[in-house]
Amino acid sequence: MFLEESSVLATPFSIGGVTIPGRLLLAPMDGFTDSPFRSMCKEHGAALCTSEFINGIDMMYGHPHLKNQLVFQDNERPFCYQIFDDDPQRLLDAGIKLAERKPDLMDINMGCSARSVSNRGAGAGLLRVPEKIKQIACSLVREVPVPVTAKIRLGWDDRSRNYLEVAKILEDCGISAITVHARTRKQGYQGTADWDAIAEVKTYASVPVIGNGDVRNVEDALRLIKHTSCDAVMIGRASLGNPWVFEGKNRENISNGELFDGMVQHLQRMTEMYSPRIGTILFRKHLARYLSEHLLTSEIRQKIFSIEEPQTLMSEIKFILEIMED
């Protein structure tokens, strides 16, 4: 029965005429979903990959970190840029500039709950100003030559759950798909995601609805689709340290050998993109999640997280995993 049910996850669907070859999508995560990580997830079955959050202000001033943040490879397609800002004109300008790089889709971030983003009126902060959402969405759909999507939350807090109003505004503007993270901004990542709210949006929307929240594995994804009839499922935090989740593997089912090989591949891609030293340092946040199932002593953690040379790091990790295997 599980195999029969899971076959739906490999069924293609369309967003604005762009074919998405499956139903499990990688969520945008700031500081994590760069090109090396996206390519890992894509190889393990992610049907759509989205960039880190791209700040409209950074686009306006040409921030140096955009050099790496905007990179994507053809093997990551279909690929989506996600942009955020509180200013409609900056968002439009950013969208037009990014479209020149020929992504397949463009997504508007209306769901980031981080205080540094939402308190300035960007991300989930936009949910407090529906008229601004209309201005932003309509202008981007009109001016950007790729399908435009949006990722939202249920509202700012429980007293202002306006997700149906926002979804209608977005659809009226011509948005091609809506991703619903089934929590409010106030909840952040706490509490239980309200899947019934995703089902409500799906009932009223005629564009694809993508469910997000409390999906830790393929079994959860199938339950979410069954519960809400959503068109696809977006997986975020559960993919960190486990890009294999997109092919249906839970973290505890990954052998140390497979884990090590995956880490080597990931680190190699990061050192190639950034530099051996910077790539190794940036890899530490991923390493912490790859090894989250292993009970490492504070001394071992301190040792491996201070290494700045990739070969030395992987040799040390291989040694640790071999000891644990014994």
Catalytic residue check, 80: no
Count the Cβ atoms, other than its own, within 10 Å of residue 294.
13
CA 139-79-45 angle, 5° bins: 140
State the catalytic residue, choosing from 112, 138, 173, 230.
112
d(CA 124, CA 155): 7
In single-letter form, the type of residue at position 157 comes to D
Distance in angstroms (rounded) separating the CA atoms of residues 224 and 236: 15
Pairing between β-strand 178-181 and β-strand 13-15 as defined by DSSP bridges? unpaired
Whether residue 118 contacts residue 185, with contact meaning beta carbons closer than 8 Å, is answered with yes
- Ramachandran angles phi, psi of 148, nearest 5°: -110, 135
Alpha helices (H) in the chain, listed in sequence order? 2-6, 35-43, 56-61, 66-69, 88-99, 115-118, 130-143, 163-173, 195-204, 218-228, 256-273, 276-290, 298-304, 310-325
Answer for the pair 149, 107: CB distance below 8 angstroms, yes or no. yes
Both ends of the chain: CA-CA distance in Å?
A: 37
Place of tokens 């505890």: 252
Helix (H) or strand (E) holding 106: strand 105-110
The amino acid that residue 291 corresponds to is: L
What number of other Cβ atoms are within 10 A of residue 180's Cβ? 32
Which residues are catalytic, by number? 112
